[in-house]
Chains A and B, each alone.
Chain A
Amino acid sequence: MTLLEIKNLKKVYTARFSNQQTEALTTVNFSIEAGEFVSIMGESGSGKTTLLNIISTLDDATSGEVFLEGSPLSKIKDKEISAFRRNTLGFIFQDFNLLDNFTIKDNILLPLVLSKTPVKEMEERLMPIVKNLGIEAHIDKFPYEVSGGQKQRVAVARALITQPKIILADEPTGALDSKASQNLMEILKGINEAGQTILMVTHSAQAASFSNRILFIRDGAVYHEIYRGDAPAEQFMDRISKSLKVLSSRGEQDE
C-alpha cells in the first residue's frame, strides 16, 4: 500500500524586497510504501530540509502535492493542522527539541496531553515504549540531566507515543557521537521492523545504511535511488559510498 506520495513538488523562495528567486525544489516525485524505512541523502543546500518541512506541514509547496494515504495535505484546514501533525506524524529533530521545564515523562506525553488523552491511557502507552527504548529509569529526570543519546531516545519515544502513520526524522544522529548514533539507528531499525514507516533525512552514510531504500537528492530533484534488498550491511554501505561519490563528482563535471 502506498502511504506517502509526492507529485511534482516545487518550492521557490522569493526574497521579501527583491525579485530574486531561489528554487529549493524543482520537481520532486517519489512514493513511500507502508512499512518502509527510507533515507534521503544529499549535500547541504540540496533541498532535503525543505522537502521534509513540506511533508511535515511546517512549510507550503509552491506547486505540486503531497498525498498521505491518498488525501492531499494542502486540503487540511488551518484549524486542523496542529491536530493532524500531532496524531498522524511523529518528529525526531537533530537538536532533540526537548523542553527543559518538563520531565522526561512529560516530554514524551506532551502530544497526548495536547490531544486531551485520558491519564490512564497515557500511562498505559508510556511504559512499553520507554522500556523498549531503555529509558524507563530516567523518566522522572529532566532533559538537562541525561546524555545526548538518551535525549534522542526520549525524542523517539515522544514521536512513537501517538502511534503515527509515519515518523519524520531530521538528521537524528547529527548531534550524537558514533556509539550513540549506532545505538539510535538500531532502535529505529527495530521500530521499523515492528511495522513503523520512517522517513529520515541524513548526511551520514552510516546512519542511512540502516534503511531499506535511499533517495539521493541534488539541486532540488531526486537524482538517484538505491534499494538495500537482501544485501548485508557492509555491502550496502559500500554502495552508498559509491553513490555519494558519483553524486559529488558528477556535480563537479556539470559545473
Chain B
Amino acid sequence: MNNRFFSSLALRNIKSNKQLYIPYLLSSITIIMMFYLMASLLDNEFVQERSSSLSPLFVLGTVVIGIFSVIFILYTNSFLIKRRKKEIGLYGILGLEKKHVAKILFFETVFTSILSIAAGLVGGLIFGRLFFMLLNYMVRLPVDIIYSTSSLIVLATVGLFLAIFGITFLYNVSQFTFANPIKLLKGKQEGEKEPKGSIILFILSLVFLAWGYGISVTIPDPLEAITKFFLAVLLVIIGTYLLFISGSIFILKALKKNKQIYYRPGAFISISGMLYRMKQNAVGLANICILASMVIIAVSTTLTIFIGAEETLENRFPYENNMTLFGDVEDVEEMNTRFFELQDRVQNTVNAEGLEVTESESYRYATFFGGVQGNEFVFDESYADQENPTVLMVLPLEDFNGMTGKSYTLDDDAALYYHSTNAYTDSELTLGNKTYRVAEVANEFGEDMDLVESMAIVVPDASHLLEIQEDFKEQYPETNYLTIDAEVGWNTSGTEEQKEALAKQFNGEYGLGAGGSNLYDSRLLQREEWYGMNGGFLFLGIFLGLLFTIGTVLITYFKQVSEGFDDREKFQIMQKVGLDRETIQESTRSQIVWMFVLPIVIATIHVIFAYPIVRKLLLIFGVTNETTWLLSFVGVVIAFAAIYWVIYRLTSKTYYSIVK
C-alpha cells in the first residue's frame, strides 16, 4: 500500500465527512485569518510610529490571539475526532494496522492544514486590503493608512499553525494508539461524568479578578497605567476562564436543586444538558466574554479619542493662540521685561489687522521637582534624577488672579496651593527658607496637572519666585534648570480666514521653525494634524473591533453546531418518549440566558472595572471628558449586544435545524 492510496483515502474521508469538516475548516480558516491580520498590524507604519505604547499593545493582542488559536483549534479538533471514532475503529477491525491509520490521519491533517492556512492567508490579505480601503474612505484621514504585511509575518503565521495542526495530529494518533477497536466503535456513546464544581478554582478566580480589578481601581497615574495594563488584562483573562469553569457549575447545580425551576420542560433539558458538558461550555463562554470585552474597550476608547479630539485640542491649547516663553538661565530678570513686551506686541499686531483680543491669559511660573515631606517641599535637582515624584509649579498671585479672574489677596507669608492627589492638608508649607500659611484652591491650572502627581503654589508676588530660586541655588549651586517661564494665550475676534491669516503670521515669527526662546502654537493650525492622528486610532479601533467580532461569530457558530451534533441523539430519544417541537424551541430559548446574557453582562462588568485605568490612559491622549467616554461606552455595549444577538439568533437556528 503506497502513499497515493492513503492520500486518496484521506481525501475521500474528508469529502464524506463534510458535514463535520466544513465547520472545522471554516473555523480554522477564520482564526488563521484573524491571527494573520492582527500580526500584520505589528508591521504597520502607523502602529510603529504613532506612539511608543501602541506597539506593545499590539504585541499583547497578537499573543492573546495566538493562545486563543491554540485553544480553539484543539477544541474543534477534539470535537471532530470524537465524532469519527467509530469510523476509524472500523479500519482497525477491517485489518488496517495502527501505522496505516496514522498515515491516513497524517494525510488528512496535511490536506486540512494546507487548505486552511492557504485560505486563511489569502483571505487575510484580501480582507485586510479591502477593509483598510473602506476605512480610509470612511474616516478620510489626510494620509491613508496602508495595510502592509511582510514575509516574516507570513512565515510566523504558517509556522504557528503548522505547529498547532501538528499537535492535533499527535493528539488524534494517541487517541487510537491507546484504544482497542471495540472501544472505538462505541467511543461516541461513552458516558461523560458530570463535572464537580471546585471551590478552590472558584475562590482562585475571584482572587485573580479582584487583583486585576484592584490594579485598575487603584492606579495612581497614567504612566503607571501603561506598565500595569498588561498585567491587569492577563489577570482578568485568567480570572474569567476560572470563573466560568467553576462558577457556572455552581450556579447550574444551584438551579438544579431548586425543583420549581428545574422541573419545567425547557429548563429541565437545557440545565442538565449544559451541566453535562460544562467544561467545554465554560471555555466557549469565557472566550466569548473576553472577546466581547476586547471589542467594547477597543472601540469605545478609540471612539472617545476621536469624538474628544476637539476637547483634547482645547486641553492642549487652551486658547486659539498660545505662546510659551522660555526663561533665560543666566538672566532671570529678562523674563519680566519680555513677558510684558510680548503681551503688548500681541495686542498691537491683532489691532493692526482690525481685530480685537477677546480673551487672554498670561502667567509666569517656575518649575521645581521634588516631594512633600512632612510639611516641607523638598527639592530634587532635576526631573532626571528625581527622588520624589512631584512636579511643583510656583506662580505669582498677580498672574493667578489674572488667569482665573478672581481677586485673592495674600499676606507676605501666605500662599495658595493645589495638590493633584489631594493628599496635602496641612495649614503651613515650607518652601526653600520660607514658611507660608497656605489655603487650598481648586484645579485652575489645566487637566495636565493630573497626569502625574503635581502641586501648584501661588505666592504673593514675583519677588517670591526669585527668592525661592535663590534658596534652590544655595542647595544645588551647579544647577542648569533654573528659569522662570511664562505662558501667554489669547483669543481674537474675526472670521476663520482672518484668524488663520493671523495665526500664520505669528507662526512665521514665533513658531517651531522660527527659533528663539518663544514658542507659538495655533489651535487652528494644529487641528488638522490632530484629526489625522486620532482618526488613525478610530481606524485601528474599528478594525480590531471587527476582528474580535468575527472571533465571536466563529466561536458562537462552532459552539452551536458542535453542540447540535452532540445533542441530536439526545433529542431523538426524547422525541420518542414524547418531546414536542415547541419544547425543543423552549429549551433552546432558555439557553439564551447563558449564551447571550451572561457573556455580555460579565464583559460589561469587566469594562466598568477597567474604567479607571482606561481613563488614566486616555489622559495621555488629552481626553478628560468622562461623559464622552461613558456615552461611547454605553453606545458600543448596546451596538455589540445587538450584533451578538443577531449572531446568536442565526446560529441557534442552525442548532435547531440540526437537532430537530
Contact B576 A58 (CB under 8 A): yes
Cα distance A87–B577 in the bound complex, in angstroms: 9
Contact B576 A142 (CB under 8 A): no
Whether A116 touches B265, Cβ cut-off 8 Å, given contacts A82-B575, A85-B577, A101-B275, is: yes
B220 cross-chain contacts in A, Cβ below 8 A: none
Cβ-based interface call for B194 (8 A): yes
Contact A85 B191 (CB under 8 A): no
Contact A100 B578 (CB under 8 A): no
Contact A83 B580 (CB under 8 A): yes
Cα distance A134–B204 in the bound complex, in angstroms: 43
Q: Report the interface size for chain A: residues with CB under 8 A from the other chain.
A: 32
Partner of A142, one of B194, B265, B574, B583: B194
Whether A91 touches B576, Cβ cut-off 8 Å, given contacts A101-B272, A101-B275, A106-B272, is: yes
Which residues A132-152 have CB closer than 8 A to chain B? 142-145
A84, A93, A99, most chain B CB atoms within 10 A: A99
How far is the CB of A125 from the nearest CB of chain B, in Å? Answer: 13
How far is the CB of A55 from the nearest CB of chain B, in Å? Answer: 13
Cβ-based interface call for B273 (8 A): yes
Cβ-based interface call for A113 (8 A): yes
Q: Which residue of A lies closest to B277 (CB)?
A: A101
Contact B577 A86 (CB under 8 A): yes
Cβ-based interface call for A119 (8 A): yes
Contact B276 A101 (CB under 8 A): yes
Contact A85 B260 (CB under 8 A): no
Contact B264 A97 (CB under 8 A): no
Partner of A85, one of B264, B578, B583: B578
Contact A82 B578 (CB under 8 A): yes
How far is the CB of B333 from the nearest CB of chain A, in Å? Answer: 87
B276 cross-chain contacts in A, Cβ below 8 A: 100-101
Cβ-based interface call for A122 (8 A): yes
Cα distance A84–B579 in the bound complex, in angstroms: 10
How far is the CB of B267 from the nearest CB of chain A, in Å? Answer: 9
How far is the CB of A115 from the nearest CB of chain B, in Å? Answer: 8
Q: Which residue of A lies closest to B578 (CB)?
A: A86
A142 cross-chain contacts in B, Cβ below 8 A: 191, 193-194
Cβ-based interface call for A109 (8 A): yes
A56 cross-chain contacts in B, Cβ below 8 A: 576
Partner of B576, one of A84, A97, A100, A106: A97
Cα distance A99–B579 in the bound complex, in angstroms: 13
Cβ-based interface call for A158 (8 A): yes
Chain B 193-236 against A: per-residue CB contact (8 Å), 1 yes, 0 no? 11000000000000000000000000000000000000000000
How far is the CB of B634 from the nearest CB of chain A, in Å? Answer: 39
Cβ-based interface call for A244 (8 A): no
Chain B 284-303 against A: per-residue CB contact (8 Å), 1 yes, 0 no? 00000000000000000000
How far is the CB of A109 from the nearest CB of chain B, in Å? Answer: 7
Cα distance A158–B194 in the bound complex, in angstroms: 22
Cα distance A93–B573 in the bound complex, in angstroms: 10
Cβ-based interface call for A175 (8 A): no
B275 cross-chain contacts in A, Cβ below 8 A: 101
Cα distance A212–B580 in the bound complex, in angstroms: 34
Partner of B263, one of A81, A86, A91, A122: A122
Contact B265 A111 (CB under 8 A): no
Cβ-based interface call for A114 (8 A): yes
Cα distance A38–B11 in the bound complex, in angstroms: 52
Chain A 98-123 against B: per-residue CB contact (8 Å), 1 yes, 0 no? 01111000100111011110010010
Contact A116 B264 (CB under 8 A): yes
B273 cross-chain contacts in A, Cβ below 8 A: 101
How far is the CB of A87 from the nearest CB of chain B, in Å? Answer: 8
Cα distance A98–B259 in the bound complex, in angstroms: 21
How far is the CB of B104 from the nearest CB of chain A, in Å? Answer: 30
Cα distance A187–B564 in the bound complex, in angstroms: 37
Cβ-based interface call for B268 (8 A): yes
Whether A109 touches B263, Cβ cut-off 8 Å, given contacts A82-B580, A97-B573, A101-B275, is: yes
Contact A114 B191 (CB under 8 A): no
A109 cross-chain contacts in B, Cβ below 8 A: 263
Contact B263 A119 (CB under 8 A): yes
Contact B272 A114 (CB under 8 A): no
A97, A145, A158, most chain B CB atoms within 10 A: A97
Cβ-based interface call for B331 (8 A): no
Contact A100 B192 (CB under 8 A): yes
Q: Which residue of B lies closest to A106 (CB)?
A: B272
Contact B573 A99 (CB under 8 A): yes
Chain A 75-96 against B: per-residue CB contact (8 Å), 1 yes, 0 no? 0000101111111000101000
Cα distance A56–B191 in the bound complex, in angstroms: 28
B583 cross-chain contacts in A, Cβ below 8 A: 82, 114
Partner of A113, one of B263, B573, B580: B263
A83 cross-chain contacts in B, Cβ below 8 A: 578, 580
Contact B573 A114 (CB under 8 A): no
Chain A 1-20 against B: per-residue CB contact (8 Å), 1 yes, 0 no? 00000000000000000000
Which residues B596-632 have CB closer than 8 A to chain A? none
Contact A110 B191 (CB under 8 A): no
Which residues B552-604 have CB closer than 8 A to chain A? 570, 573-581, 583
Contact A101 B263 (CB under 8 A): no
Q: Which residue of A lies closest to B194 (CB)?
A: A142
Q: Which residue of A lies closest to B192 (CB)?
A: A100
Partner of B578, one of A79, A106, A114, A116: A114
B570 cross-chain contacts in A, Cβ below 8 A: 99, 101
A102 cross-chain contacts in B, Cβ below 8 A: 272
A119 cross-chain contacts in B, Cβ below 8 A: 259-260, 263
Contact B579 A114 (CB under 8 A): yes
A-B contact pairs, 5 of them (CB 8 A): A86-B577, A101-B272, A110-B574, A114-B577, A144-B190
What are the 8 tightest A-B residue pairs by CB atom distance, in nearest-first order?
A144-B191, A86-B578, A82-B580, A101-B276, A85-B578, A97-B573, A119-B259, A100-B191
New A-B pairs, 4, CB < 8 Å, besides A86-B577, A91-B577, A115-B578: A106-B268, A114-B265, A114-B580, A158-B577
Chain B residues within CB distance 8 Å of chain A: 190-194, 259-260, 263-265, 268, 272-273, 275-276, 570, 573-581, 583
Chain A residues within CB distance 8 Å of chain B: 56, 58, 79, 81-87, 91, 93, 97, 99-102, 106, 109-111, 113-116, 119, 122, 142-145, 158
